[in-house]
């Protein structure tokens, strides 16, 4: 219950702050999008409550009573168990995020999150219930193989939710502060690039809590001007693509061409490239 209160309070705080200090200009009315995003999130939270809670509870109890998984095998305890558990959970979510982009079946569901024409706090809770159900299966495998304790899982889950809401927000932080935070954590400017409708930018910045995974895997991209970023997916940029009905049925209907060319890596003119690229998180 404490974790839920923290997350809800964090959402409300960032919702207020991003309204006062926006990072990017909005394309659509903020409150009309909220109606869709909140409804989608309610269905997703319902699935999470029905599936994730009992599933994670079962596997946490199982790993507590059965010496299975990497951490028990390494005989890590105390602070070392907590630190390694948090890092391994975050690293595995990094790979899961990449899988959601690269495997077309998973992308059908994850695309619901990406076609939001603007990026803000509400996008951070806009996940199709089908994606939540699939992530439940992933979480079960994740916890069984890693073998985390209940306390470590609770700590990471709080970091996961707080971090996800934070880096999806449209909050314009002072550059010095964001650069400092980004040395460790995923930040709004960093994740904003991931939500670009230019695929070579979307194919970067997959980290969830800690930015180190993108640095280690060379998938980090920071030198893109925020004012040049167009949020969304080109093939689903029409306003009617973001009605509640279309969003909910999207994974189950025939898919349109997502990107502007076969691979989504269209060439830009020299002027466009120069205008788009900036120094590391300089805008």
The residues facing 196 across adjacent strands are: 231
Task: Give the model's pLDDT for residue 267.
Answer: 59
Helix (H) or strand (E) holding 134: helix 129-146
Cβ atoms within 10 Å of 249's Cβ, excluding its own: 11
Cβ atoms within 10 Å of 85's Cβ, excluding its own: 24
Cβ atoms within 10 Å of 258's Cβ, excluding its own: 18
Task: Give the model's pLDDT for residue 7.
Answer: 86
91: its two tokens: 């690293």
Contact 192, 119 (CB under 8 A): yes
Task: Give the model's pLDDT for residue 279.
Answer: 53
Task: Give the model's pLDDT for residue 6.
Answer: 85
Contact 258, 236 (CB under 8 A): yes
In the 8-state DSSP scheme, what is residue 48? I
What is the pTM (predicted TM-score) of this model?
Answer: 0.89
Q: Cα separations (Å) of 173 from 86, 282, 283?
A: 26, 12, 10
Task: Report the alpha-carbon distance of residue 29 to residue 248 in Å, rounded.
Answer: 20
pLDDT below 70 — which residues of the chain? 1, 3, 260-283
Task: Give the model's pLDDT for residue 12.
Answer: 95
Task: Give the model's pLDDT for residue 33.
Answer: 92
User: What is the distance in angstroms between the CA of the first residue and the CA of the last residue of the chain?
Assistant: 38
Task: Give the model's pLDDT for residue 191.
Answer: 98
Task: Give the model's pLDDT for residue 220.
Answer: 96
* Nearest CA among 98, 93, 86 for reference residue 194: 98
* CA-angle at 123, arms to 223 and 27, nearest 5°: 70
Task: Give the model's pLDDT for residue 263.
Answer: 43
Cβ atoms within 10 Å of 188's Cβ, excluding its own: 24
94: its two tokens: 């990094």
Task: Report the alpha-carbon distance of residue 117 to residue 83 in Å, rounded.
Answer: 37
* Nearest CA among 50, 45, 72, 47 for reference residue 143: 72
Q: Cα separations (Å) of 198 from 114, 172, 174, 219?
A: 12, 22, 26, 15
């Amino acid at each position: 219950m404490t974790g839920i209160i923290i997350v809800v309070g964090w959402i409300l705080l960032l919702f207020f702050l991003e309204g006062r200090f926006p990072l990017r200009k909005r394309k659509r009315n903020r409150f009309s999008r909220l109606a869709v995003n909140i409804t989608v999130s309610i269905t997703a939270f319902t699935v999470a409550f029905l599936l994730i809670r009992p599933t994670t509870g079962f596997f946490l109890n199982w790993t507590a009573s059965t010496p299975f998984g990497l951490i028990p095998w390494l005989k890590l305890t105390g602070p070392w168990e907590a630190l390694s558990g948090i890092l391994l959970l975050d690293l595995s979510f990094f790979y899961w995020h990449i899988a959601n982009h690269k495997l077309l079946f998973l992308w059908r569901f994850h695309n619901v999150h990406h076609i939001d024409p603007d990026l803000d706090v509400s996008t951070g809770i806009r996940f199709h219930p089908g994606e939540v159900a699939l992530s439940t299966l992933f979480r079960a495998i994740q916890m069984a193989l890693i073998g985390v304790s209940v306390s470590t899982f609770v700590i990471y889950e709080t970091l996961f939710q707080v971090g996800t809401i934070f880096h999806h927000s449209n909050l314009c932080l002072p550059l010095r502060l964001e650069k400092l935070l980004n040395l460790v954590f995923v930040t709004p400017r960093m994740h904003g690039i991931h939500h670009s409708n230019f695929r070579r930018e979307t194919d970067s910045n997959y980290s969830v809590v800690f930015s180190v995974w993108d640095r280690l895997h060379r998938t980090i991209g920071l030198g893109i001007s925020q004012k040049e970023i167009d949020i969304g997916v080109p093939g689903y940029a029409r306003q009617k693509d973001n009605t509640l009905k279309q969003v909910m049925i999207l994974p189950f209907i025939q898919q349109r061409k997502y990107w502007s060319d076969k691979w989504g890596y269209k060439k830009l003119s020299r002027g466009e490239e120069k205008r788009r690229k900036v120094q590391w998180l300089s805008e």
